[in-house]
Structure 1
Amino acid sequence: MAAATARRLLRPASSAAKFSTRRLLSSASSPPSHRSSNTNSPVAFDWSDDDESSSPPPPPAKKPNLPPPYDPFNKKPAPAVAEPADPTNLQEIFHRMRAEGLTDYAVKMFDGLSKDGLTHEALELFAVIKDKGTMPDVVAHTAVLEAYANAGPAHWRDAVRTYDRMLASGVAPNAYTLAVLVKGLAAGDRFAEAGKYLTDMLDRGMRPNVATYLAAFEAYVRLEKMEEGRVLLETMKGKGFVPSEEAVRDGTVKRGHIFRGIMNLLFDK
């Protein structure tokens, strides 16, 4: 419901968001000086110095068709956020970002923050887009980061570089940004990196949701890195983290060695 409402209300800002998205993705300049996280910046996502990475394609020449304006009398629910059919096809994903803008990504972030109880952050995001007609930099950077994270283990370095470029540009990540990074790294078996950014969340005063910390600790169990996982857990507890046994039981498959390993690692059971 929150996602559908946000999608309808964000439609008037789509035109400005698209043009700023094309400018952001097509820029090849060096990282700019520190800027506010509520402005658009010409940040480069060109990893041409690394043969293993995939940089976004050049912007399309044709002006994209804009969506219809928001109709407050239309009671038809907004369509769900469409996920890419092939998450490994980065060229197509980046092309769609330029052509269609970042409204879908903003809706996903708004919905994710709202579900985690971060209503204030979600409303701040919404206000920037709706009232100022601009797409916050955190949405643009997270969209690119998420594309790399979902593209598979081969692109984990690109995801981390995008995050580093985000920080260098003076853009503050939110809980959704770091959750995307942690879960993407964990899915690619980069358990140490996932643990590092899970700790980063706590250092930034964020509380990782159960899906995020479970993804990281499941990677430790899956790769039989139990001792390293316990070190991470103790570090996180020292920063105020307390895992919820009920939430973990609800969010974990109740069978197999992964579940038993998670319960042993987190709760000594």
Structure 2
Amino acid sequence: MYTVLVNDGNKDEATEFYNEVKEMRVEPMVVIHTSVIKAYLKFDKTKGALEAYLAMLAAGVTPNSYTYTVLIKGLAADPDFFGDAKKYLLEMMDKGKRPNVATFTVVMEGFAKQEDKAAEEEGKTFVQVMMDKGFLPNAKAMMNVLKGRPTPVIRSIMSIVIFTLKQ
């Protein structure tokens, strides 16, 4: 988890995680809860993953960037939980954590897969809200994440993001 946090640009959180593990000599509870969330998602139990996340919060365990990344990607992959993915992406940012490009892109992909103008407009508004919170999408990095996706999905995602960046 330390390496993932560093690779995602969350060096301060990675250092905090490392120090916590070193001092306690045990994995912090966030690791256990995140593992449970991952397990639910691995078996396509999105509702269970969300319930595990809510139980984590109820237990007083604060999610880190990696927890949010796992949760958001899992929620965004299930059209029934796409609204939750958006909600927790904004929550993540409100708590001072920045999503990596893959997490941002998977949420943008959720807008694109809806294949309608209303979803596209909602996506543009969502990107603007994120930018207002200090997030700046990186189109080049997004293209790397999108490799192998269907061309219409890529075009739709980039249309949403590029339009918003030009505003």
TM-score by length of 1: 0.55
Q: Give the equivalent residue in structure 1 for 2:113.
A: 222
Q: What does 1:134-145 correspond to in 2, within 5 Å? A: 134-145=26-37
> One-letter code of the match for 2:82?
F
Deviation readout 1:70-108 (Å, 9 max, x if unpaired):
xxxxxxxxxxxxxxxxxxxxxxxxxxxxxxxxxxxxxxx
* More off after superposition, 231-240 vs 172-181: 231-240
**Match status 1:116 vs 2:8:** yes
> One-letter code of the match for 2:122?
E
Structure 2 unaligned blocks of 5 or more:
none
Higher RCO by CA contacts (8 Å cutoff, separation 6 or greater): 1
Q: Give the equivalent residue in structure 2 for 1:251.
A: 145
Secondary structure of 2:26 counterpart? coil
Cα distance between partner residues in 1 of 2:42 and 2:126: 24
Q: 1:128 to 1:240 in 2, by over 3 A?
A: closer
Deviation readout 1:204-238 (Å, 9 max, x if unpaired):
11111100000111011012222222232222122
TM-score by length of 2: 0.87
Give the % identical residues: 40
**Match status 1:163 vs 2:53:** yes
Secondary structure of 1:247 counterpart? helix
How many residue pairs align between the two structures? 159
Cα distance between partner residues in 1 of 2:109 and 2:46: 18
> One-letter code of the match for 1:253?
K
More helix by share: 2
* More off after superposition, 252-261 vs 166-175: 252-261
182, 207, 220: which is aligned to 2:72?
182
Cα distance between partner residues in 1 of 2:51 and 2:34: 12
Deviation at 1:243, TM superposition (A): 0.6
Cα distance between partner residues in 1 of 2:10 and 2:21: 17
Q: Give the equivalent residue in structure 2 for 1:88.
A: none
Q: Give the equivalent residue in structure 1 for 2:155.
A: 260
Deviation at 1:126, TM superposition (A): 2.5
Name the Cα RMSD after superposition.
1.8
Structure having the higher Rg: 1
**Match status 1:195 vs 2:78:** no
Cα distance between partner residues in 1 of 2:128 and 2:110: 17
151, 158, 175: which is aligned to 2:43?
151
Deviation readout 1:85-137 (Å, 9 max, x if unpaired):
xxxxxxxxxxxxxxxxxxxxxxxx21210111222322332233334222201
Q: Give the equivalent residue in structure 2 for 1:55.
A: none
